[in-house]
Homo-oligomer: A and B are copies of this chain.
Amino acid sequence: MTELKNDRFLRALLRQPVDRTPIWIMRQAGRYLPEYRATRAQAGDFMSLCKNTELACEVTLQPLDRFELDAAILFSDILTIPDAMGLGLYFAEGEGPKFHKPIRTEQDIEKLEVINTFSDLTYVTDAVATIRRELNGRVPLIGFSGSPWTLATYMIEGQSSRDFSRAKTMLYTQPQLLHQLLEKLALSVIDYLNAQIASGAQAVQIFDTWGGALSHSAYKEFSLAYMQKIVAGLNTESEGRQVPVILFTKGGGQWLSAMADTGCHCLGLDWSTDIGVARQLVGDRVALQGNMDPAVLRGSDDSITTAVTSILESFGSGSGHIFNLGHGITPDIDPAKVKLLVDTVQDQSAK
């Protein structure tokens, strides 16, 4: 494998010294970029873009050509695993992800099988290998998966949800059935992330987008426990390097200490958390990633530089911080604002 020219991101994840704070942006390959919209139009719908190795590689690299980012992230969707399990993922225009065959009965769960990534999701491992080759050591490549609880919510609801009424009804009436589903998903995520690592992913992130909808005790039992199982099941050494694991629970600011105990290397923070307070809480157990409100990018240049300064100062000196947004960048953002963000993080943190 080619030598890595910029390992700032991996070093910060392991809390090793860095010359400045590394930055990447959740959903950095996305609709706010005109070149992404052009490639997507060429591919057709969103899943066709994910499944087209060449084009998925192309959009993964696009933001790196515009901005001095310190990591690339595989272009894919969090719902590839349930799709591979046979639920039939599709995207209704302007409505977010949906499943043709959501889980409706106990039998639906019983018949689900743990995936084998190298036979069921070759388009993902192909994309990882291709992107890694095309990156040619420029920056590290991040692989990712949805968390078991987050995948389960979509599988049970059949689509995005505001209050997760079906999923929570299962949780509070048939907890053992939900555990059965989560167990199959956790084993699938382990297989999936290990396959991404074997194909070239140099760090992995678990997106627990909906863990924050749970009560503190349900979070521990139905989301965190399965993420912990995943962390324990990952091959976190590859090519003679550590493969750091990032856990990100949106709305999980009150549970950071428990999350840090899973053995992961880094916690992603949304913008509700003061990163300095989080650092005191987790001590030297993990690095921290985040955590500017994506809405700041709709603001004045002044708002952006002020927010960056405030986050960098709150984290303080020393390594262990990866700058990011607290959630994915939205389609309405002007790329010039992203450039300002990236440049500001680099200039200010180098001081």
Q: Does A332 contact B (CB under 8 A)?
A: yes
Interface flag for A299 (CB, 8 Å): yes
Give the docked Cα–Cα distance between A164 and B169 (Å).
28
A30 to chain B, nearest CB (A): 15
Closest CB-CB distance, A339 to chain B, in whole Å? 17
Contact at A272–B300, with CB atoms within 8 Å?
no
Task: Say yes or no for A119: interface residue by CB 8 A criterion.
Answer: no
- Cβ contact within 8 Å between A295 and B169: yes
Q: Do B253 and A299 have beta carbons less than 8 Å apart?
A: no
Residues of B within 8 A of A215 (CB): 271-272, 292-293, 296, 307, 326
Q: Which residue of B lies closest to A164 (CB)?
A: B295
A307-323 with Cβ < 8 A to chain B: 307, 310
Partner among B168, B212, B326 whose Cβ is within 8 Å of the Cβ of A298:
B168
Q: Is the CB of B298 within 8 A of A169?
A: yes
- In chain B, what residue has the closest Cβ to A270? B215
- Answer yes or no: A165 CB below 8 A from chain B CBs: yes
| Pair A172/B299 contact, Cβ less than 8 Å | yes
Question: How many of these chains are in the complex?
Answer: 2
Question: Could you mark each residue 38-49 of chain A with 1 if its beta carbon is under 8 Å from any beta carbon of chain B, else 0?
Answer: 000000000000
A85 at the interface (CB under 8 A from B): no
Interface residues of A in 242-274 (CB under 8 A from B): 251, 253-254, 271-274
Minimum CB–CB distance for A251 against chain B, Å: 7
Q: Which residues in B have their C-beta under 8 angstroms from that of A300? A: 172-173
A112 to chain B, nearest CB (A): 23
Tell me whether A217 is interfacial, beta carbon within 8 Å.
Answer: yes
State the CA gap A164–B299 with chains docked (Å). 13
**Cβ–Cβ contact B216 & A298, under 8 A:** no
Is the CB of A108 closer than 8 A to any CB of chain B?
no
Contact bitstring A213-231, B, C-beta under 8 A = 1, else 0: 0111111000000000000
Q: Which residue of B168, B212, B251, B296 contacts A293 across the interface (Cβ within 8 Å)? A: B168
Judged by a CB distance under 8 angstroms, whether A180 is at the interface is no
Residue ranges of A at the interface with B (Cβ–Cβ < 8 Å): 163-165, 168-169, 171-173, 212, 214-219, 251, 253-254, 271-274, 277, 292-293, 295-296, 298-300, 303, 307, 310, 326, 330, 332
